[in-house]
């Protein structure tokens, strides 16, 4: 077998926490799954908040170089791709600098804590002409991509309604620390930006543009034990209930009705305080000729109902994703061997590098991230004003 000629592209990864781990794994594994790969991502430099943390992250995640100053990644002419895996309030500054330096950019979600920053990021990448992607990876679960395929093929007819949830329980314990995810200045919002935006992304991907919302938001746990910086352990440790407390200034729960431009209606429900739920991302989409239902906790499966099924065999049934489904040629050879979180990130890396070495087109991109922020902003205003609010148009 001859080895095809494949470009090697150097990656500078900023942030060595949960997403630093997930993205490093994806870069190492992507060519093992998708071959010939569109490019070999070279783990060139990783940046953290100190030289010491960066050196540890480089050793752990297989990077050649490390730095305690992310600006060295931007200034390095050998780096082709900047990957932003830091808390939300640093996304805009890093992304705009990276775009101005001509780097292709993968940025974690939410694109930014505010609409203004998201807009500035979108304008920067548009002006620079670099490939850009926002890491809403759940749309790259094969069963989600299969639902999209069925909808586009008209297999469930005209879409009538969307019901989406994202329920977790890692913040249900009041002794969980006041990590960056509970601080508006860092995160922008709470559950809404952190996990509600994943559902917004799925709704836009599967059904279409959202035109109006009617929302409620609530904070159940108003203060938490202080945490002195560092990565967010997602409620798992650092519990310090008897220590000094700090104010939570973000939402724990968001509920909203949705209106879509194409006439469909829907709902979104997200909380990190749902005891017993872990990564319960679900959607049920009803069409004029069928239904699809997905639950991320059973992510090899898509439940389907087609009105064209024989009347004596009607009922929701399960399709297990495998080689005959989206991304099936690169993943595992037998359905239900098991799609994991890692696979969604490997597919994300594959599509991102394919855009860099191909036609430059990938989604969700910064325009999608900006639109999602406009929807999140409308949700906040709707909850404050206790009425239906229209989503503002993209302004550039
Ligand atoms: P984390 O708290 O686990 O790690 C963040 C890391 O960034 C920490 O190690 C911290 O020291 C480092 N950091 C902070 N400021 C930095 C700077 N200026 N320069 C270099 N390093 C810096 O956070 P996590 O969970 O990895 O989240 C990062 C981003 O990824 C967030 O925007 C979050 O919303 C997103 N995320 C997305 C997920 C998805 O499913 N797509 C899952 C988890 C997080
Ligand atoms: C915590 O709620 C979190 O890590 C989110 O930040 C991610 O976006 C989600 O995918 C998993 O949960």
Predicted confidence (pLDDT) per residue in 102-134, tens digit = 999 999 999 999 999 999 999 999 999 999 999
Report the CATH architecture of 142-338: 2-Layer Sandwich (3.30)
Whether 108 is in the pocket of ligand 2, judged by its Cβ within 6 Å, is no
19 Cα–ligand 1 center, Å = 6
Pocket test for ligand 2, best of 138, 234, 342, 372 (most atoms within 8 A of CB): 234
Pocket test for ligand 1, best of 84, 85, 93, 134 (most atoms within 8 A of CB): 85
> What average pLDDT does the segment 31-53 reach?
98
Whether 3 has a pLDDT exceeding 80, the answer reads no
Residues 345 and 180: beta-carbon distance below 8 Å: no
Residues 347, 326: Cα–Cα separation, whole Å: 10
pLDDT band with cut points at 50, 70 and 90 for residue 237: low
CA of 171, closest atom in ligand 2: 2
Q: Does the pTM of the predicted model rise above 0.80?
A: yes
> What average pLDDT does the segment 361-390 reach?
98
Pocket test for ligand 2, best of 171, 181, 194, 198 (most atoms within 8 A of CB): 194
Neighbouring C-beta atoms of residue 235, cutoff 10 Å: 20
| Same topology between domain 8-137 and domain 142-338 | no
87 Cα–ligand 1 center, Å = 4
Q: State the ligand closest to the CA atom of 179.
A: 1
Residues 117, 128: Cα–Cα separation, whole Å: 17
Predicted confidence (pLDDT) per residue in 43-56, tens digit = 999 999 999 999 99
| Residue 323 φ then ψ, to 5° | -60, -25
Hunting for tokens 């470009």 — which residue is that? Answer: 7
Whether 328 has a pLDDT exceeding 80, the answer reads yes
Residues 102 and 291: beta-carbon distance below 8 Å: no
Specify the 3-state DSSP secondary structure of 119: helix
20 Cα–ligand 1 center, Å = 7
CATH classification for the domain delimited by 8-137, as one of 3.40.50.150, 3.50.50.60, 3.40.50.720, 3.40.980.10: 3.40.50.720
Whether 251 is in the pocket of ligand 1, judged by its Cβ within 6 Å, is no
Average predicted confidence (pLDDT) for the chain: 96
Report H helices in the chain: 18-33, 51-61, 71-75, 91-100, 115-128, 142-152, 184-187, 191, 197-206, 341-357, 366-385
Where do the domains of the chain lie?
8-137, 142-338
Whether 238 has a pLDDT exceeding 80, the answer reads no
Among candidate residues 79, 66, 88, 196, the one with its CA nearest the CA of residue 130: 79
pLDDT band with cut points at 50, 70 and 90 for residue 1: low
Query: Mean pLDDT lowest for which of 28-32, 139-143, 234-238, 376-380?
Result: 234-238
Neighbouring C-beta atoms of residue 384, cutoff 10 Å: 11
Whether 387 has a pLDDT exceeding 90, the answer reads yes
Q: Whose CA is nearest to atom 43 of ligand 1?
A: 19
352 Cα–ligand 1 center, Å = 19
């Amino acid at each position: 077998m001859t080895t095809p000629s494949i470009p090697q592209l150097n990656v500078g990864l900023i942030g060595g926490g949960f997403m630093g781990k997930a993205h490093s794994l994806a870069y190492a594994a992507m060519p093992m799954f998708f071959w010939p790969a569109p490019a070999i991502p070279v783990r060139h430099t990783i940046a953290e908040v100190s030289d010491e943390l960066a050196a540890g992250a480089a050793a752990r995640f297989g990077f050649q170089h490390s730095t305690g100053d992310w600006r060295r990644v931007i200034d390095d002419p050998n780096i082709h791709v900047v990957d932003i895996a830091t808390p939300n309030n640093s996304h805009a500054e890093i992304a705009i600098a990276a775009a101005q330096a001509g780097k292709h950019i993968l940025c974690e979600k939410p694109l930014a804590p505010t609409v203004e920053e998201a807009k500035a990021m979108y304008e920067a990448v548009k002006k620079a002409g670099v490939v850009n992607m926002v890491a809403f990876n759940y749309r790259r679960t094969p069963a989600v991509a299969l639902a999209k395929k069925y909808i586009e093929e008209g297999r469930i007819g005209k879409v009538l309604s969307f019901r989406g949830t994202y329920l977790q329980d890692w913040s249900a314990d009041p002794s969980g620390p006041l990590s960056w995810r509970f601080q508006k200045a860092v995160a922008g919002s709470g559950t809404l930006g952190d996990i509600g935006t994943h559902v917004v992304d799925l709704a836009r991907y599967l059904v279409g543009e959202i035109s109006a919302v009617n929302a409620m938001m609530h904070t159940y746990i108003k203060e938490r034990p202080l945490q002195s910086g560092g990565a967010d352990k997602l409620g798992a440790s650092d519990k310090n209930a008897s220590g000094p407390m700090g104010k939570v200034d973000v939402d724990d729960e968001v509920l909203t009705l949705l209106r879509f431009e194409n006439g469909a209606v829907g709902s979104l429900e997200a909380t990190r305080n749902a005891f017993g739920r872990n990564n319960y991302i679900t959607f049920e989409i009803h069409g004029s000729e069928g239904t699809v239902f997905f639950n991320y906790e059973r992510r090899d499966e898509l439940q389907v109902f087609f009105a064209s099924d024989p009347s004596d065999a009607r009922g929701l049934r399960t399709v297990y994703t495998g080689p005959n489904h989206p991304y099936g040629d690169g993943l595992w050879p037998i359905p239900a061997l098991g799609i994991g979180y890692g696979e969604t990130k490997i597919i994300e890396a594959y599509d991102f590098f394919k855009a860099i070495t191909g036609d430059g087109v990938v989604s969700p991109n910064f325009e999608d991230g900006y639109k999602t922020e406009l929807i999140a902003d409308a949700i906040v205003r709707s909850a404050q004003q206790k009425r239906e609010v229209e989503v503002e148009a993209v302004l550039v």
